[in-house]
Amino acid sequence: MTQRTTLLATLALIAANTLHGSTLIGINDNEAFSTDSKTHGGISTNGNIIVGNAAGSGGFIWNTSTNATQLFEQWSYPFGDAADISGDGTIITGTATFSDGTKSAYRWTSVNGAQPIGILSGYDKSYGEAISADGTTIVGSCYSIGDGITTFGGETAFRWTQSTGMVALGQIAGGSNSTATAVSSNGSVIAGYDSQLNQAFRWTQETGMQTIGRLAGATDCTAIAISGDGSIIIGSSGTKAFKFTTEGGIQDLGNIEGATQASASGISEDGSIIVGHTDAGAFIWDASNGMRKISDLITSEGTDTSNWEITDATGVTTHENKIIISGYGIKNGQNEAFTATINNDITAIPEASTYGIICTGALALIAGAKRRRRH
């Protein structure tokens, strides 16, 4: 192979990576939807369906492939939020206030609408926080108000399936305010935290609640999301984002330039990609590159982000060689939910400035080779 052929092949490879491109679509872009909106973390496996909450309108379902948006207030369903969605995008959970005044976690399908899944005995309300990818398991918490004067009750994490109904997960030893926030794909592993003890936990039927520790120097730890097989838990501890595994314990994910605080909010099914937010913008993390700013990656693949302040990334999935991220940012002075796609091969993509250096150098060498042949 000649030098010129090799250089041309290199340029073709760079161009191929660049042409994969990125996208950034706001929920307001092509839809009569102008309400302040935020995602909660719920994103289907293929990235087409995203759920979240809109100011004054409750939950929303956004089909990003058709850009069709439905608000809970548009239906004859109870007013509530949309917290999470099953992997196939057909089942949603969250919290709603029903016609009898009861505030309850629910299970929503397009056929049956939002159906309350109950409240544990001795508690006043329940909150739906997450649903397993297979749609079988919902987790959250039940809350007791107490008398509001001398007692303020407590909170307990629950696990719900159609066969078992709502079952309490108990408490961390010494605690009384547990909340389940995340569940593995098949419902067997659950993560959450105790707001009284400021401790995060990992739960299985065999082990019960086990604390996962805190980062060095931190006085709190909150678990927010979990990988598909339940082996990785992410969240925040003190002012830092963390990743926890049973083998490696709790690990600091670092930070992006200019940031002093970080929290991890979403994780891919296989656990290889993590997203979240910092006080300097939303981030994406992988083992090869560490933490990077999402807006920088999107821009490096050719998408203009100048009218966006991408503040929070809440969900992430991989599909057809793309990383699909859900989140929200500030656009036109208000919060707006977005979906963004970037090249899945992010570990092999140079920074934007590197493209120019490589291409300029390669073209110069080709030109030099031509000049040498003329002599």
- What pLDDT, in 10s, does the model give residues 255-267? 999 999 999 999 9
Most confident of 24-33, 53-62, 107-116, 146-155: 107-116
Question: Half-sphere exposure of residue 82, counting CA atoms within 13 Å on the CB side?
Answer: 34
Of 21 and 16, which is predicted with more confidence?
21
- Cα atoms in the 13 Å half-sphere on the side-chain side of 332: 10
**Right CATH number for 20-349 from 2.130.10.10, 3.40.50.720, 1.10.357.10, 1.10.3430.10?**
2.130.10.10
**Considering only CA atoms, which of 370, 308, 365, 375 is closest in space to residue 338?**
308
What gap in Å lies between CA 213 and CA 222, rounded to an integer?
Answer: 10
Q: What is the pLDDT of residues 59-112, one digit of tens each?
A: 888 898 887 777 665 444 556 889 999 999 999 999 998 888 899 999 999 898
**49-54/58-63 β-pairing:** antiparallel
The per-residue pLDDT for 354 is: 41
Specify the length of the chain in residues: 375
The structural domains of the chain, with segments of one domain joined by +, span: 20-349
| Confidence label for 370 from pLDDT (cuts 50, 70 and 90) | very low
Structure confidence by residue, pLDDT tens digits, 267-297? 999 999 999 999 999 999 999 999 999 999 9
pLDDT at 355 over 50: no
Q: What is the pLDDT of residue 60?
A: 85
* pLDDT score, position 351: 42
